[in-house]
Amino acid sequence: MSATPDPAALVQSQPHAVVERDGVRYTLLGTAHVSQASVDAVRDAIASGRFDAVAVELDEHRLVALTDPDALARMDLIEVLRTGRTPMFAANLALAAYQRRLAEQLAIEPGAELKRAVLEARQRDLPVHLIDRDVGRTFRRAWGRLGFWARARLGGGLLGALLAREEVDAEDIEKLKQGDLLESTFSEFATGSPALYETVIAERDRYMAARLRQSAGNAREVLAVVGAGHLAGLSRHLRADADAPERICETLDAIPPKSRVPWFTLALAAFVLGGFAWGFWRGGLEVGSDLLLEWTLTTMALGALGCALAGGHPLSILVAALASPVTPLHPALASGMLSALTEAWLRKPTHADFLALRDDVTHWRGWWRNRVARVLLNFFLTSMGTAIGVWIGGARMLGTLFG
């Protein structure tokens, strides 16, 4: 009788590691997210019948994006805007747009091996465990660690990634073959940013190791399909972490609390209102009125211009204009949110808009043609216009008061 093959022997063609802990043997299969060989290795490993459970480097939202193309069509865009989840939605769109560009260029869907792992396991009635942290939560943790200028750079980069049409360069493709899809998507920003690297890569190694331990249950042979870039860190944490996996996941799922006191908004409000008061006191009615009028017109004009550039409805442009002088002074309001809500209400996205969204955002004209994309563009460009208006208006106020 032939010897029973070691599970690791089934994946010799790919980077892999085997870790035994608490009576469970974890075979970590390191894959390239754009490789047919990885898809084949996953299929063969699961078909061998050696594994009791399959774990994949996915969260619920990314799994739905891979397996349910119509999921976006069921989304309530107004609820996304109202609850402040617009940046998270945009981050997911940036990831989807990047994946689409890769798919067109390489003729294979990024993450195809993860999708195959889920489908093969389900066909054999094997438990499937999603061990990655929610991508929106990862983005929010990274966002909370960045300073103002780093956030501006990241936000601008996400918008650029959404609008980009050029092919992904060879260097990024090589990184993707040996690394991680999120790392590749945000590599431009992770370089030189320890906070971003820690959140996007290192934290997720520890999180996935904890989720593996947490979800093992009664399984004794677990196949974990992860990007090759996670093998070293995941193996290390799986062997060495002593804390309870529930505690690790709870810690790494937590969103950094926002400052209870909106210092920047309070400082801006104090500066603007103080400038008006100083102008009225030192220069009289004429100087104070000029300062107030100049601030109002500057922020109104640039907020409305941003909305207009996004192809906003005339009423959305009016809302942007009226909101722009006031919302910078209020911590809970944003001109972009108000104008985007108005746009979504007036030009309600259709089912077809959601279905076409992933394709449309890969071409710049699609941003103005697709109603979902246009609402997002409205949010960002209106907010950007208002922010520029605030800086210009503030600079002119300083020039008038101390010139």
Q: What is the DSSP string of 210-248?
A: HHHHHH-TT-SEEEEEEEGGGHHHHHHHHHH--S-HHHH
Q: Of 61, 66, 55, which Cα lies nearest the Cα of 211?
A: 55
What pLDDT score was predicted for residue 314?
95
Residues 117, 225 contacting (CB under 8 angstroms) = yes
| Tokens of residue 12, six digits | 């010799």
CA 302 – CA 299 distance, rounded (Å): 5
| Tokens of residue 233, six digits | 């860190």
Question: Regarding beta strands 53-56 and 128-130, do their DSSP bridges make them parallel or antiparallel, or are they unpaired?
Answer: parallel
List average pLDDT for each run of 10 residues in the chain, which is 403 residues long: 50 80 93 79 91 93 77 72 73 68 69 90 95 84 71 63 58 56 55 65 90 92 90 92 94 76 75 84 82 91 95 95 90 87 90 76 82 90 92 85 70
Within 10 angstroms of residue 2's Cβ, the number of other Cβ atoms is 4
Helices marked H in 216-331 — which ranges? Answer: 231-240, 245-253, 263-309, 314-323
What pLDDT score was predicted for residue 19?
94
What pLDDT score was predicted for residue 127?
95
β-pair partners for 128: 54
CA atoms 318, 319, 324, 329: torsion sign: positive
| Tokens of residue 272, six digits | 């603007």
Residues 374, 364 contacting (CB under 8 angstroms) = no
What pLDDT score was predicted for residue 2?
43
What pLDDT score was predicted for residue 20?
94
CA 65 – CA 260 distance, rounded (Å): 35
Residue 27: phi, psi to the nearest 5?
-100, 110
311-331 b/e (C-beta count within 10 Å ≥ 16 → b)? bbbeebbbbbbbbbbebbbeb
Provide the strand spans (E) within 24-106. 24-31, 53-56
DSSP string, 361-401: TTSHHHHHHSHHHHHHHHHHHHHHHHHHHHHHHHHHHHHHH
Residues 369, 107 contacting (CB under 8 angstroms) = no
pTM confidence score:
0.69
